[in-house]
Structures are given as structure tokens and as C-alpha cells.
């Protein structure tokens, strides 16, 4: 019985050591940036990470990692003006094409915005829109495509109530702004958005309406 236990321990140590080697190889090109999502594909994985582009402006990147941990390619999608901050694990697909939303910062004016971006099946950029580009504070954390509309959730500062409230933005099918609404009272955010079988939107997030942030 003791021999069996020793064999299991050594096997676990071996697996852990191998996994650590692959993990270290993957993160060499993501130093100081957090991986916010992993997409499983036939030839390996797509990592969604923070990065900097050729202009040294903060952006997000897609990286194709093969099954051996080698980086096959890396793609960034912004310019020398707009910083781009992705939501957490919020890359979604429609007809096999990825789309993502996040927060933008104009490094010249300081304006804050919401960005919406769609891609081809090979992660080439199809559409990029910066929405609500103004001085008001806001972040975008998740999005969904439904009935030829994009719905984006996050948090926005409400100047009338002077509170940070849950934000819901709607655009048309090509990312043109239609409306923005805010909900809640005190430090609330929309972190996840899904739809049910009836086509209703369901938003999950946090609220500070109690003594400490609570899930809603």
C-alpha cells in the first residue's frame, strides 16, 4: 500500500513539473499583463491578454498557442491614440466569429469610451467602434449579440446622483450607438450579460447597496 502511495505522489510531481514548464513558456510574452480569457480551438488555444502594441499603447491581444505551448502568432488591434482594456473572459462568438467589448481611453483628450470589436474566423478585425467617447468615467465588462443588436454592460458614473451605477449600452448590428441606461443606486456594476429562451436579458453583477459589495 505504501508503494502505491509513493508512485501516485511521484506521478503528480511529474505532471505538475511538466505543466509548470509549459506555463512558463506561454507567459514569456505577457510579462506584467494578465490573461483574461482562454478560447479552446482545434489547433490549440487563443489567449486573451493585456499587451502593448507597436506604438507602446496599452491594448489587448489575441495569441494563438499550440498544444505544446508555442506562440504561433499574436495580434493587436488599436493605434497610437486609444488604450483598450478588455473585460474579463468576455470573448463570445456569433456564427463562428468572435466579438468582444471593453473600455477605451483616449490618451490625447483623456476621454473614456466603450469599445466594441468583431473579428473574422481567423481573428482579423472586421469592426471596431468607440462609443460614448466623453469625459465621464465608465468601464465595459461584458456583451451579447441578440436580435441584430449588441448589448454591453459595465459601470458608469451618474453625474446627477453622483453614484457609480450599472451601465447597459445598446448598439445596432454594426456597432452604431442607440442608447445607454444606468440602474441601481450605490456602486453597482453589470459584470455578465446573458439571454434566456424568451430573448430576455439577464445581467449579473455587484452592488454596494448593502454594507459590502454583494452579488446581484
pLDDT (tens digit per residue) in 65-124:
998 888 899 999 888 999 999 888 899 999 989 999 999 999 999 999 999 999 998 899
69 with 101, same domain: the answer is no
Which of 25, 43, 77 is where one domain is finished? 77
Q: Number of folded domains in the chain?
A: 2
Q: For residue 162, give the CATH number of its domain.
A: 2.115.10.20
Whether 117 and 198 map to the same domain: the answer is: yes
Same domain, 49 and 90: no
131 beta partners: 114
More confident residue, 108 or 36: 108
Joined grid coordinates for residue 122: 481567423
Residues 68 and 95 both lie in one domain: no
Q: What is the pLDDT of residue 33?
A: 66
Distance between CA atoms of residues 117 and 60, nearest Å: 11
The answer on pLDDT for 1 being more than 60 is no
Contact present, 200 and 166 (Cβ < 8 Å): no
Taking a C-beta distance cutoff of 8 angstroms, is the pair 59, 85 a contact? no
Q: Kindly report which listed range (16-20, 100-104, 149-153, 210-214) carries the lowest average pLDDT score.
A: 16-20
The C-alpha cell of 187 is what? 456602486
Range of the domain at 155: 81-216
pLDDT score, position 184:
86
Domain termination site, one of 51, 77, 103: 77
Amino acid at each position: 500500500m505504501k508503494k502505491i502511495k509513493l508512485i501516485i505522489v511521484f506521478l503528480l510531481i511529474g505532471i505538475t513539473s511538466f505543466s509548470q514548464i509549459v506555463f512558463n513558456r506561454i507567459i514569456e510574452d505577457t510579462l506584467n499583463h494578465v490573461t483574461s480569457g482562454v478560447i479552446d480551438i482545434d489547433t490549440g488555444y487563443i489567449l486573451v491578454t493585456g499587451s502593448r502594441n507597436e506604438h507602446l499603447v496599452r491594448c489587448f491581444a489575441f495569441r494563438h498557442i499550440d498544444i505544446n505551448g508555442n506562440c504561433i502568432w499574436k495580434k493587436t488591434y488599436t493605434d497610437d491614440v486609444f488604450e483598450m482594456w478588455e473585460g474579463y473572459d468576455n470573448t463570445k462568438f456569433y456564427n463562428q466569429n468572435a466579438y468582444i467589448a471593453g473600455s477605451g481611453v483616449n490618451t490625447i483628450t483623456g476621454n473614456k469610451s466603450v469599445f466594441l470589436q468583431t473579428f473574422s474566423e481567423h481573428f482579423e478585425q472586421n469592426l471596431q467602434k468607440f462609443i460614448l467617447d466623453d469625459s465621464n468615467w465608465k468601464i465595459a465588462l461584458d456583451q451579447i449579440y441578440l436580435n441584430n443588436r449588441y448589448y454591453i454592460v459595465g459601470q458608469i458614473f451618474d453625474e446627477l446622483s453622483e453614484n457609480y451605477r450599472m451601465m447597459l449600452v445598446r448598439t445596432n448590428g454594426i456597432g452604431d450607438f442607440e442608447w445607454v441606461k444606468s440602474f441601481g443606486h450605490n456602486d453597482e456594476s453589470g459584470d455578465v450579460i446573458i439571454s434566456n429562451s424568451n430573448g430576455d436579458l439577464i445581467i449579473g453583477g455587484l452592488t454596494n447597496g448593502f454594507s459590502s459589495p454583494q452579488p446581484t
